[in-house]
């Protein structure tokens, strides 16, 4: 009777540990999915609805292109004046 009871207690404790570990894994997965959704939401750009690039950004792009054209040896290098 003691042997059967201890075996049943052992199996029940194993099931409890298994269910607890599964619950922790599911909660962790849900938390990671929420974090991923937040990162995706905060890093995507909103649609521009036909808006053009600002004059400042166009000017910066033109200046960068001019600097790269003047110094073809420095491909991808950041040049400071």
Measured CA to CA in angstroms, residue 79 lies from 44, 53, 55, 74 at distances of: 29, 23, 21, 8
Judged against a pLDDT cut of 80, whether residue 27 lies above it is answered with yes
Q: What is the pLDDT of residue 79?
A: 53
Q: Residue 16: which pLDDT band, with cuts at 50, 70 and 90?
A: very high
Q: pLDDT for 32-55, tens place per residue? A: 999 999 998 888 776 566 666 788
User: What's the pLDDT score for residue 80?
Assistant: 58
> Whole-angstrom Cα distance, residue 77 to residue 1?
79
The predicted model scores a pTM of 0.49
Structure token digits, residue 43: 């890093």
Cα angle 47, 29, 36; round to 5: 20
Q: Which residues contact 56 (CB under 8 A, 6 or more apart)?
A: none
């Amino acid at each position: 009777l003691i042997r059967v009871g201890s075996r049943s207690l052992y199996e029940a404790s194993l099931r409890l540990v298994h269910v607890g570990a599964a619950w922790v894994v599911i909660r962790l997965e849900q938390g990671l999915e929420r974090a991923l959704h937040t990162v995706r939401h905060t890093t995507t750009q909103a649609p521009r609805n036909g808006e053009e690039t600002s004059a400042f950004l166009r000017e910066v792009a033109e200046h960068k292109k001019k600097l790269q054209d003047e110094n073809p040896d420095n491909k991808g290098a950041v040049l400071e004046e």
